[in-house]
Structure 1
Amino acid sequence: MVRLKKIYPTEKYGKYANLQELVSASAMRFGDKPLYKYFDADGQIREMSYCTFGNETKAIGTALAAYGLLGKRIAILSESRPEWMVGYVATIGGGGVTIPLDRELQTEQIRNFLNLSEANAIFFSAPYEKALLEMAPELPGVRAFIAFDEPAEPWPAELADRLFVYRRMAEDGREMYENGNDAYTSAHVDVYAMSAIIFTSGTTGTSKGVMLSHDNLLECVRASANMVNFSSRDVLLSVLPLHHTYETCCGMLTPICLGATVCINNSLKYVVRNMNIFRPTGMILVPLFVSTIYKKICDEVRKKGKEKLLARGIAATKLARKVGIDLRKPVFAEVRRGLGGRLSKIICGGAALDPDLVDRFDELGIQIAQGYGITECAPLVSVNPYTALKYGSVGVPIRGSSIKILKENGDGAESEAETGSIGEICVKGPQVMLGYYNNPEATKEVFTDDGYFRTGDLGYVDDEGYIFITGRKKNVIILANGKNIYPEELEEYLYKLDVINECVVVAREVGGETLLTAVVYPEYTRFEGADAEQIKETIKAEIMAVNKHLPVFKQIRNIEIKKNEFEKTTSKKIIRYKV
């Protein structure tokens, strides 16, 4: 086992006994302060205070108890909105099991996941009413459909008694709670029992239901609150879908613990617009969003013809910082205004991030701290502590957990890798899942004999205990000569080319030979008036220039051009098996 030199900030936040306690404590502490700012159905900005959120959670929890749903399995299918989090907390806080569903699922997948998880009820919003109404007869186990919005039309008589409206439910629950009904607030919660079933996004194949306990989630909230540089003074813009544990834990539950304000983005089309409306100080993002924001910055600078001015500003502020003077905020005020004017901190996880992007944002005075997680770890494996950031690394393991790196030996056996050697990252700790729901075989496959969870990610640990990700085990390309290629490493080089918007490196059989192939979705805005052949030749020339800096066995030998973007999960990861 790697002996880690752990560099942790002083712990300011302890672990709450359960989510009810977390929400109640924050409601008392922060009162009328806005917890959420969001757009209503008419596009008007609304607010929900900490106190209101706490009261509404108790009301919905009390109503769930009255309707016989306390401690039951309740799915959520909706866009991001405050009611989503109320339903989530009320379910888990009462000892139940939440089943967050991807809002982009097809009807058949929704039906399958509801049946597979044995859901007893579902919270849903208007866009999903028609689909749920149609499949309701095939969901005998779902005895309550709880509509966040007023139903578009009356449900058939045979289904009407299974339909409940959130607002009326909250009113009933509030009245019952005020009259002394404590069924929810006094509910027994086993924090080590299953409290969530999270279906994985399936970037490489079939989805599995990850079982997380109350304690798994609370451990990650504690770790996140103590290791990231957010506080009650921060305003965050939430852009990732809530069914992802990364956003639920780091983007929603952690801010509740800290007393921050969360502004809910209403569409990916309007992220930059909403940054200017809400003026966030921080964001929780995945690499694709970080890259997109930086490209927008570059495009704006280019349109205004200020590339040289920006370069001079960067050079000057770097020089000033060497003598202890930080001029980035005033010098780059115009650039930062395009992002709302206050953005200073980004937490990035979910995939590998180009270290150059971290440097580019740092030059503008925006700090990026990388973390590493996976759904099976609720989701945190490691976080870069704000007191000791190491660029290029995804940080150190969260408190109470341990990491080991396993490498394959020539005889098919495994051994623990030495410091700095690449192998599969394995983790043990209080955040690791209970297993895969109703799938003991798959569960057994991902745990070592001594209880470490196999993440499927490749990386190494340096002599200070910081983790570095090199790729995904399933993505490794093994050449005929036995050499291992980590496609993510090559993709990192290609993403630096401004003619490439998205890319994936794969192995293709061409003329009886296996060739490293770059499948590219071009940055078409760079090619106005160019035909397909010109686009391909330009990209080929730039990739050949990259090849000159790579060992022969790593060089790209074939190029494929895509007309459309790659298909992605809702967390904006490219679905590689479909490439």
Structure 2
Amino acid sequence: MHKKGIFLSEVDGRKTVTGLGYYETDTVGDFRQLVRNSVKQFGNKAAFKFKSDNRIIVKTYNEFGAEVDALGTALLSLGLKDKRIAVIGENRYEWAVSLFSIVNGAGIAVPLDKHLPEVEIEKLISRGRVDAIFYSRHFHGEMLELSGRNTGIQQFICMDSMEGVCPPGFSSLADLLEKGRSLLASGDRSYVDAEIDPERLSLLLFTSGTTSMAKGVMLSQRNVCTDISAVTSIIKVHPNDVHLSILPLHHTFELSAGMMFMIKNGVTIAYAEGIKHIARNLKEFEVTLLVVVPAILEAMYKKLQDGLKKAGKQKTVRVLGKVSNALSSVGIDIRRKLFKKVLEQIGPGLRLAISGAAPIDKEIIHGFGTLGLKVIQGYGLTETSPVVSANNDFYNMAGTIGQPMKGIEVAIDKPDENGMGEIITRGPNVMLGYYEDEAATREAVDEQGWFHTGDLGFIDDRGFITITGRAKSMIVFTNGKKAFPEEYEMLMNNIEGVKESFAWGNAAPDGDIQVCAKVVINEAVLAEKFCRKPEPDEIAEMLQGEIKRLNEDLPQYKIIRYFVLSYEELIKTTTLKIKRPVEFDRISEQLKLAGTTMRKANRRVIEQL
């Protein structure tokens, strides 16, 4: 049912927008109800697809629900009631079964980042006081070592079969499933009838960063379930849809929007074999939906444009795009028919991509939209379970993060003369708090329940929110004007031959704030552009000309003053966001080691960068 989706008001003296939703949706109170509702409604429909020995394996909703109950029953038999149980491994069906077996009646789940070094994994296990851990084969050696140290872990559960003799406390997931089935058959209902309190801590998630800096975010089942229902109220997905799971499952965006939201709506979840195999997986799994970060869409769009350029079809597509957009504006949509061959290069069935975690260039949203692939940008944080706002099926304003979702309030704190200030939000999706850090919790969530995001932005009269940047990375010039690294990076990333970039405000000896940038070059693209491998000075000359053209459209105080070139990719999180403080420290240290400054380094290729 289509109805007005937002309510504008003034709360606590602030202009506030509250999401009302566009579609009627049933809510779920906890994760077990979410799974059981889907099992009842979708039964023998495919819930998961994945490849094994080059064959596609299918798991139905009935099989999924039965295996969650069996594994959960086995966990209780091991004495793990109300214990903290970690999950670490690649995106896979067993990861999903493990997670739900914990939260649907056993204990508290602690998803861990599989890319962390061994020493950091051990520290997070210690910080989180983990009692048991599910892990994939890749971590078996590490777990054997951990078992020999006093880590507090009572049970090690491998998602794969184990070879050789293992110490006491080790089990395979397959063995526990068999044990759980036997217990259920004998009448053991300790797990399936276990009481679930949706208000209690259910998920403990550690944010990106070193173990000393990473914050433990405490989420309840109510936090996440209300957020999933809110997403369902603005974006319609169908049981015949197939979602390709790419982003790491330990991250709330994939955990909530990419898994739980899909299960609630009967969507089939297919597991990607890795970033390098996305193009193939999109076709062989007949994918229709994606939950991704901008970097993935940017790579897909660039590859598509390169293909059109090589085929000499760019001009034709531009002309046809204008025609299809004109027809769409009067209700005649022939885009997917008109661009069928182009879409086949991406994924013939792909119709919707939900992007989050970082800003995405409007050109990509418009470009894909012209072809008939809708790209929706949303916004959220781990602390908000995670989605706060998003564009939707009815309104898709490129360049904004859309409107707040159902039941969620958003306001601007201490707006300046242009209406820009810190984005704050409150609602049932806001976390319980930071783990063992009451001071940080009080700083983040005020007495009125508003969570302070640390992001700056503004809200227009229709309730659309625009993010201008992070408060911590904002560049403040000596004249008081402000700019954000993201706006420069988006411009530079569009330069042919630039893979990615990083911008910051550098303080000159006289106190002047100057915009500087590190530019990572794409050697393959430049080799094609120059018809040979270009010399470093040639690359610098080319880039200086491109940046000069960008500067012509900027006020003098905002221009990019200095840059360095690099062949090495930027330091990023597992969701491909730049680790800005870490990257800045690396550049500063390397410039120091090179005995130079940004002024002297200008137009130089610093190899170690």
What TM-score bracket applies, with the shorter chain setting the length? Answer: over 0.9
Alignment match, 2:15: 2
Residues 217 and 431 in structure 2, CA contact (< 8 A), matched pair in contact too: yes
Alignment match, 1:425: 423
Task: State which of 555, 567, 571 in structure 1 corresponds to 2:571.
Answer: 567
CA distance in 2, matches of 1:241, 1:471: 24
Moved more, 63-72 or 46-55: 63-72
Matched, 1:60 2:63: no
What do residues 242-297 of structure 1 show as CA deviations (whole Å, max 9, x unaligned)?
00010011011111110111111011111111112112111111111111110110
1:37-436 correspondence to structure 2 within 5 Å: 37-40=49-52, 42-155=53-166, 160-202=167-209, 206-407=213-414, 421-436=419-434
| Structure 1 residues not aligned, in runs of 5+ | 408-415
What do residues 73-125 of structure 1 show as CA deviations (whole Å, max 9, x unaligned)?
00001101111111111111115110000010100100000000000100000
Alignment match, 1:36: 48
Q: Please report how far the alpha carbon of residue 136 of structure 1 lies from its aligned counterpart in structure 2 after TM superposition.
A: 2.2
Alignment match, 1:471: 469
Q: Please report how far the alpha carbon of residue 5 of structure 1 lies from its aligned counterpart in structure 2 after TM superposition.
A: 6.8
TM-score (norm 2): 0.89
Q: Which amino acid aligns with 2:96?
A: M
Q: Please report how far the alpha carbon of residue 398 of structure 1 lies from its aligned counterpart in structure 2 after TM superposition.
A: 2.0
Q: Which amino acid aligns with 1:185?
A: V
Q: Please report how far the alpha carbon of residue 385 of structure 1 lies from its aligned counterpart in structure 2 after TM superposition.
A: 2.7
Residues 477 and 507 in structure 1, CA contact (< 8 A), matched pair in contact too: yes
Residues 6 and 396 in structure 1, CA contact (< 8 A), matched pair in contact too: yes
CA distance in 1, matches of 2:497, 2:547: 10
CA distance in 2, matches of 1:213, 1:264: 26
Residues 514 and 560 in structure 2, CA contact (< 8 A), matched pair in contact too: yes
Describe the SS at the equivalent of 1:474.
Answer: coil
Moved more, 312-321 or 115-124: 312-321
Residues 1:555 and 1:356: Cα distance change in structure 2 (over 3 Å): same
CA distance in 1, matches of 2:509, 2:525: 32
Alignment match, 1:558: 562
RMSD: 1.8
Moved more, 302-311 or 118-127: 302-311
Q: Please report how far the alpha carbon of residue 153 of structure 1 lies from its aligned counterpart in structure 2 after TM superposition.
A: 3.1
Residues 250 and 284 in structure 1, CA contact (< 8 A), matched pair in contact too: yes
Alignment match, 1:525: 524
CA distance in 2, matches of 1:83, 1:322: 45
Q: Please report how far the alpha carbon of residue 226 of structure 1 lies from its aligned counterpart in structure 2 after TM superposition.
A: 2.0
Q: Please report how far the alpha carbon of residue 203 of structure 1 lies from its aligned counterpart in structure 2 after TM superposition.
A: 9.3
Alignment match, 1:544: 548
Q: Please report how far the alpha carbon of residue 140 of structure 1 lies from its aligned counterpart in structure 2 after TM superposition.
A: 3.5
CA distance in 1, matches of 2:537, 2:508: 19
Residues 30 and 259 in structure 1, CA contact (< 8 A), matched pair in contact too: yes
Matched, 1:19 2:31: yes
Q: Please report how far the alpha carbon of residue 511 of structure 1 lies from its aligned counterpart in structure 2 after TM superposition.
A: 6.5
Alignment match, 1:439: 437
Describe the SS at the equivalent of 1:389.
Answer: coil
1:472-511 correspondence to structure 2 within 5 Å: 472-509=470-507
Residues 499 and 539 in structure 1, CA contact (< 8 A), matched pair in contact too: no
Q: Which amino acid aligns with 2:580?
A: R
Residues 420 and 457 in structure 2, CA contact (< 8 A), matched pair in contact too: yes
Residues 211 and 437 in structure 1, CA contact (< 8 A), matched pair in contact too: yes
Residues 1:232 and 1:139: Cα distance change in structure 2 (over 3 Å): farther
CA distance in 2, matches of 1:38, 1:386: 29
Residues 282 and 347 in structure 2, CA contact (< 8 A), matched pair in contact too: yes
CA distance in 1, matches of 2:18, 2:446: 24
What do residues 31-82 of structure 1 show as CA deviations (whole Å, max 9, x unaligned)?
1111111112x23211111110000000011001111112210000110111
Q: Please report how far the alpha carbon of residue 128 of structure 1 lies from its aligned counterpart in structure 2 after TM superposition.
A: 0.7
Residues 1:395 and 1:427: Cα distance change in structure 2 (over 3 Å): same
Q: Which amino acid aligns with 1:466?
A: F
CA distance in 1, matches of 2:579, 2:489: 15
Q: Which amino acid aligns with 1:343?
A: L
Q: Which amino acid aligns with 2:145?
A: E
Equivalent pairs counted in the alignment come to: 564
Alignment match, 1:451: 449
Q: Please report how far the alpha carbon of residue 177 of structure 1 lies from its aligned counterpart in structure 2 after TM superposition.
A: 1.1
Q: Which amino acid aligns with 1:431?
A: N
Q: Please report how far the alpha carbon of residue 137 of structure 1 lies from its aligned counterpart in structure 2 after TM superposition.
A: 2.8
Describe the SS at the equivalent of 2:326.
Answer: helix
Q: Which amino acid aligns with 2:85?
A: I
Q: Please report how far the alpha carbon of residue 131 of structure 1 lies from its aligned counterpart in structure 2 after TM superposition.
A: 1.2
Moved more, 467-476 or 197-206: 197-206
Residues 39 and 65 in structure 2, CA contact (< 8 A), matched pair in contact too: yes
Describe the SS at the equivalent of 1:280.
Answer: coil
Describe the SS at the equivalent of 1:15.
Answer: coil
Describe the SS at the equivalent of 1:425.
Answer: strand
Q: Which amino acid aligns with 1:461?
A: I
CA distance in 2, matches of 1:333, 1:185: 48
Moved more, 388-397 or 22-31: 388-397
Residues 1:7 and 1:430: Cα distance change in structure 2 (over 3 Å): closer
Describe the SS at the equivalent of 1:424.
Answer: strand
| Structure 2 residues not aligned, in runs of 5+ | 1-13, 528-532, 584-609
Residues 59 and 170 in structure 1, CA contact (< 8 A), matched pair in contact too: yes
Q: Which amino acid aligns with 1:60?
A: L
